[in-house]
């Protein structure tokens, strides 16, 4: 049985807990908590064709009328957008919008690793032990997630940061550190929801879903991994970085089309020290809300937490 309790996260900027406003919550809870809804989820909603169908609507001119009500309901600030609201021809164009150049400043400290996306973030450490992420006692199957046993062995005992993007969030994702990305390796799968309402029932949905795994070499920590996980009604994972071309911290890696989604950053053991508030909230089983470009942690000497308290920015 799914947990009927609300989804609570901790907002780094106001330093308080908040209840998540979930786009399509009634529909999501029906698919997770009602027997008929679960049957529909397995037989149709999680199938790629269903998300493609939904994406077709989101790419149609008729979808444009949903933009203004969405802005009003979820309180998004158009001043952050790089383009005016009236310029978006479809809901999908609005959904994977770019932001103004100054909307997400990148932490300039040489040892700082940044959050790769706006969203709600969770820490998993170490990677070879049971974790309390989303539901107590659920075990992260690293080999299944990466689709590669040898790669999983290289990162066993390391750290993973889960960055969950809600439909209300900015949906482009960025490199947390400089380096050189290889070509994303796509692991095909279904498209289940990655909202905690669904993940409380089964974290295995993360490695049942379609995902793309990228290895980034030549970073300050050597190699690290970046995993993009698709979800229900995500029309696609769209890469924008060129494989084999060096990138800087904060450069864009790609974007998700319509839907809630999730990215995972994985570091090997002993190279990353997470921000204090990320550690504190994850230890409570609560996600931390933070924006792309803000400090996720530091890299370098293990155990060094100097300057690692996270952002002291004002309210969002």
DSSP structure string for 115-149: -SSSEEEEEE-STTS---SSSTT----HHHHHT-H
Strand partners, 255: 172, 238
282 belongs to the catalytic site: no
77 belongs to the catalytic site: no
- DSSP H helical ranges for 165-255: 196-199, 205-208
Active-site residue (options: 107, 163, 169, 174): 174
- Distance, CA of 18 to CA of 121 (rounded, Å): 14
Query: DSSP code of 55?
Result: H
- Distance, CA of 156 to CA of 126 (rounded, Å): 8
Active-site residue (options: 107, 118, 169, 294): 118
Tokens of 58: 């989101």
256: helix, coil or strand?
A: strand
Closest CA to 234 of 211, 208, 265: 211
Paired sense of beta strands 8-11 and 287-290, if any: parallel
Tokens of 238: 């769209």
- 242's CB contacts (< 8 A; 6+ apart) are none
The total of other beta-carbon atoms located within 10 Å of residue 49's CB is: 9
Active-site residue (options: 122, 261, 268, 282): 261
261 belongs to the catalytic site: yes
User: Within its chain, how far is the Cα of 161 from the centroid?
Assistant: 9
Known catalytic residues?
A: 118, 174, 261
């Amino acid at each position: 049985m799914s947990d009927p309790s609300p989804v609570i996260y901790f907002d780094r900027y106001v330093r308080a807990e908040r209840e998540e406003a979930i786009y399509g919550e009634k529909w999501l809870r029906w698919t997770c908590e009602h027997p008929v809804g679960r049957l529909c989820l397995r037989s149709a909603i999680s199938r790629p064709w269903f998300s493609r169908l939904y994406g077709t609507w989101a790419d149609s001119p008729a979808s444009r009328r949903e933009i203004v009500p969405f802005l009003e309901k979820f309180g998004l600030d158009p001043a952050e957008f790089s383009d005016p609201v009236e310029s978006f021809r479809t809901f999908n164009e609005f959904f994977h919008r770019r932001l103004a150049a100054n909307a997400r400043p990148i932490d300039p400290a040489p040892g700082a690793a940044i959050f790769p996306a706006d969203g709600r973030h969770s820490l998993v450490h170490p990677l070879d032990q049971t974790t309390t992420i989303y539901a107590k006692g659920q075990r992260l199957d690293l080999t299944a997630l990466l689709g590669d046993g040898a790669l999983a062995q290289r990162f066993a005992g390391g750290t993973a940061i889960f960055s969950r993007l809600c439909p209300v969030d900015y949906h482009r994702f960025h490199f947390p550190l400089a380096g050189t990305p290889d070509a994303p390796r796509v692991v095909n799968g279904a498209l289940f929801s990655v909202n905690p309402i669904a993940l409380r029932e089964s974290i295995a949905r993360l490695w049942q879903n379609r995902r793309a795994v990228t290895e980034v070499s030549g970073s300050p920590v050597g190699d690290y991994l970046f995993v993009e996980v698709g979800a229900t009604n995500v029309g696609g994972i769209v890469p924008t970085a060129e494989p084999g071309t060096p990138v800087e911290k904060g450069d864009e890696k790609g974007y998700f089309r319509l839907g809630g989604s999730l990215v995972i950053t994985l570091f090997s053991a002993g190279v990353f020290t997470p921000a204090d508030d990320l550690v504190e909230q994850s230890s409570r089983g609560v996600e931390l809300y933070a924006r792309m470009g803000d400090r996720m942690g530091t890299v370098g000497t293990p155990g060094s937490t100097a300057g690692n308290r996270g952002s002291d920015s004002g309210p969002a």
